[in-house]
């Protein structure tokens, strides 16, 4: 059996009940087969793949907190420090009831290659908790965040591990966590990114993932002589990624007609009203059912459905495995040109394969959504030089980074004979730098 297949089997056997982690490993290892096969003897001798798929460290802890009625609760906190070959661990904290060790490992594993693709010196990590901030008061969220950081602060630091936001962790949560870190460790340092502007945050970090997704999508289309101008775009999600993806898509002259949250989705034929979306989600923290109050002509539907809409470009920006084979078939039947992932692994393996076989330009999240973490690395740079750059400076750097990512993954795919396969291109391009660093640093 090939080394790659052996390791895939081993990962499944040693990490049962972690299907998302298996999926992420399978996709990466399948893509880098050409490199592994060509170096099999050395890789086996150095246990290269075993070291790649086993996190350097996994931290799991109890998070007790007290609600507004005086009742105590216990959640589970995680931080997976996956790979530090090219820099300090970097990756977000997900707060969502679905969080478990398998989810955090899949996200941490993806982060290794995503962070490498940014070209910046950041390793891969991820963390979070099964705590659900939805429906909690600000005081309850603060109580949770302080308790979470009381434990986490022992393991992180500006040059060690730098967490950030992800699903459920936004500016409010980062603020509470930063305050607690500073209080316990006595350090005002850039150990978290996505901070508020008044205490070390970077301009354009809020917009970065969504804007970056569009910079890459625009570059991809332009390289195929297609313009974003006048295109219809379907977006899922209504969080930080979706909102700023929609905003940039509209700035580029496209029309975004959908968005969604955990209970339903919106179809707005006239184009999503971004100001209304921001007010509902960022200010009121409310449901999308509210959208009709702003736009009476828009349709609200319960459940899933954004991929049933006719669109030229589809941007899944909600969560893992949200776009399945049936959705892919519908998108293809409706003439979609490109699918670029704003979320982490939102397309199932089957759906990805179907889209690629039908000639759709498909860019995986580790390339397409890397603008968020790239701008986090720019926030780290600003923090370490005790400076802040202008919005225009950060935004220009982000745009350049995303264009470079597109060309790097395109070139890697071509170099290894997989022209147009951006999944293979992203995995190979991300892996090459990590491999080089791992080889240089010996068996650690
Ligand atoms: N959670 C984001 C991601 O999936 C951002 C991580 C960061 O900024 O460190 O890449």
Identify whether the C-beta of residue 76 lies closer than 8 Å to the C-beta of residue 98.
Answer: no
**Average of per-residue pLDDT across 67-74:** 98
Q: Which pLDDT value is given to residue 380?
A: 98
- How far, in Å, is the centroid of ligand 1 from the Cα of 374? 8
- Parallel, antiparallel or unpaired: strands 89-95 and 299-302: unpaired
Q: What is the DSSP letter of 202?
A: P
Give the model confidence (pLDDT) of 309-342 as tens digits.
999 999 999 999 999 999 999 999 999 999 999 9
**Cα torsion angle, 429, 105, 265, 399, sign:** negative
**Average of per-residue pLDDT across 120-147:** 98
| CA 400 – CA 128 distance, rounded (Å) | 30
Residue 365 confidence class, pLDDT cut points 50, 70, 90: very high
The residue whose CA is least distant from atom 5 of ligand 1 is 373
Q: Cα 302 from chain centroid?
A: 26
Q: Which pLDDT value is given to residue 81?
A: 99
- How far, in Å, is the centroid of ligand 1 from the Cα of 165? 6
Give the model confidence (pLDDT) of 2-26 as tens digits.
999 999 999 999 999 999 999 999 9
- The structural domains of the chain, with segments of one domain joined by +, span 55-187, 208-368
Predicted TM-score (pTM) of this structure: 0.98
Give the model confidence (pLDDT) of 104-113 as tens digits.
999 999 999 9
| CA 98 – CA 351 distance, rounded (Å) | 22
- How far, in Å, is the centroid of ligand 1 from the Cα of 72? 30
The residue whose CA is least distant from atom 8 of ligand 1 is 373
Q: Architecture of domain 55-187 in CATH?
A: 3-Layer(aba) Sandwich (3.40)
Task: Compute φ and ψ for 91, nearest 5 degrees.
Answer: 165, 160
Give the model confidence (pLDDT) of 21-69 as tens digits.
999 999 999 999 999 999 999 999 999 999 999 999 999 999 999 999 9
Atom of ligand 1 nearest to the CA of 107: 4
Q: Which pLDDT value is given to residue 1?
A: 92
- Ligand 1 residue neighbourhood (C-beta within 6 Å): 90-92, 164-166, 193, 344, 372-373, 376
| CA 34 – CA 71 distance, rounded (Å) | 55
Q: Supply 130's token pair.
A: 């099964």
Query: Which residues have a catalytic role annotated?
Result: 126
- How far, in Å, is the centroid of ligand 1 from the Cα of 92? 5
Other beta carbons within 10 angstroms of residue 270's beta carbon come to: 10
Give the model confidence (pLDDT) of 401-426 as tens digits.
999 999 999 999 999 999 999 999 99
Residue 435 confidence class, pLDDT cut points 50, 70, 90: very high
Identify whether the C-beta of residue 249 lies closer than 8 Å to the C-beta of residue 233.
Answer: yes
Atom of ligand 1 nearest to the CA of 111: 10
Residue 152 confidence class, pLDDT cut points 50, 70, 90: very high
Residue 355 confidence class, pLDDT cut points 50, 70, 90: very high
**% residues pLDDT > 90 (the chain):** 100
Q: Taking the CA of residue 50 as centre, how many other CA atoms within 13 Å lie in the half-sphere pointing to its CB?
A: 11
- How far, in Å, is the centroid of ligand 1 from the Cα of 258? 24
Q: Which of 106, 117, 162, 166 to mutate to test the pocket of ligand 1 (most atoms within 8 A of CB)?
A: 166
Q: Supply 111's token pair.
A: 């982060």
Query: Identical fold at 55-187 and 208-368?
Result: yes
Q: Which pLDDT value is given to residue 95?
A: 98
- Sequence-ordered list of residues with C-beta below 8 angstroms from that of 264, at least 6 positions apart, any chain: 287, 288, 289, 300, 301, 302, 303
Atom of ligand 1 nearest to the CA of 163: 9
Q: What is the mean pLDDT of the chain?
A: 98
Identify whether the C-beta of residue 109 lies closer than 8 Å to the C-beta of residue 24.
Answer: yes
Q: Which of 372, 379, 426 to mutate to test the pocket of ligand 1 (most atoms within 8 A of CB)?
A: 372
Give the model confidence (pLDDT) of 190-220 as tens digits.
999 999 999 999 999 999 999 999 999 999 9
Give the model confidence (pLDDT) of 372-393 as tens digits.
999 999 999 999 999 999 999 9
CATH superfamily of 208-368: NAD(P)-binding Rossmann-like Domain (3.40.50.720)
| CA 343 – CA 321 distance, rounded (Å) | 10
Atom of ligand 1 nearest to the CA of 373: 8
């Amino acid at each position: 059996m090939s080394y790659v297949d052996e390791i895939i089997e081993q990962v499944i056997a040693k990490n049962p009940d972690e299907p998302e982690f298996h999926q992420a490993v399978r996709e990466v290892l399948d893509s880098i087969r050409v490199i592994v096969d060509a170096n099999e003897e050395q890789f086996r001798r150095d246990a290269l793949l075993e070291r790649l798929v086993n996190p350097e460290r996994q931290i799991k802890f109890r998070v007790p907190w007290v609600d507004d009625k005086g009742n105590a609760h216990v959640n589970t906190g995680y931080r997976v420090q996956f790979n530090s070959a090219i820099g300090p661990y970097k990756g977000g904290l997900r707060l969502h009831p679905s969080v478990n060790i398998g989810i955090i490992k899949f996200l941490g594993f993806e982060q290794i290659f995503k962070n490498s693709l940014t070209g910046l010196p950041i390793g891969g990590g991820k963390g979070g908790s099964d705590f659900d901030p939805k429906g909690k008061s600000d005081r309850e969220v603060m109580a949770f965040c302080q308790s979470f950081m009381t434990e986490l602060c022992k393991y992180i630091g500006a040059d060690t591990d730098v967490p950030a936001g992800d699903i459920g962790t936004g500016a409010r949560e980062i603020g509470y966590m930063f305050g607690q870190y500073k209080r316990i460790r006595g350090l005002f340092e850039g150990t978290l990114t996505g901070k508020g502007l008044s205490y070390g945050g970077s301009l354009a970090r809020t917009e970065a993932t969504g804007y970056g997704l569009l910079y890459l999508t625009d570059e991809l289309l332009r390289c195929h002589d297609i313009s974003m101008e006048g295109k219809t775009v379907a977006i899922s999600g209504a969080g930080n990624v979706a909102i700023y993806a929609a905003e940039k898509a509209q700035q580029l002259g496209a029309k975004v007609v959908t968005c969604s949250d955990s209970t339903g989705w919106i179809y707005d034929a006239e184009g999503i009203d971004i100001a209304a979306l921001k007010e509902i989600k960022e200010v009121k923290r409310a449901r999308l059912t509210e959208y009709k109050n702003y736009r009476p002509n828009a349709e609200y539907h319960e459940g899933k459905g954004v991929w049933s809409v006719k669109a030229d470009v589809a941007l899944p920006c909600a969560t893992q495995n949200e776009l399945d084979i049936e959705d892919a078939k519908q998108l293809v039947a409706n003439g979609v040109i490109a699918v670029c992932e704003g979320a982490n692994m939102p397309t199932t393996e089957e759906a990805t394969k179907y889209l690629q076989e039908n000639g759709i330009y498909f860019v995986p999240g580790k390339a397409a959504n890397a603008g968020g973490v790239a701008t986090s690395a720019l926030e780290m740079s600003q923090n370490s030089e005790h400076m802040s750059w202008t919005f225009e400076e950060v935004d220009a750097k982000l745009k350049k980074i995303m264009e470079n990512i597109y060309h790097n993954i395109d070139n890697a795919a071509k170099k290894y004979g997989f022209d147009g396969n951006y999944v293979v291109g992203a995995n190979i391009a991300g892996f090459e730098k990590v491999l080089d660093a791992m080889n240089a640093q010996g068996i650690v």
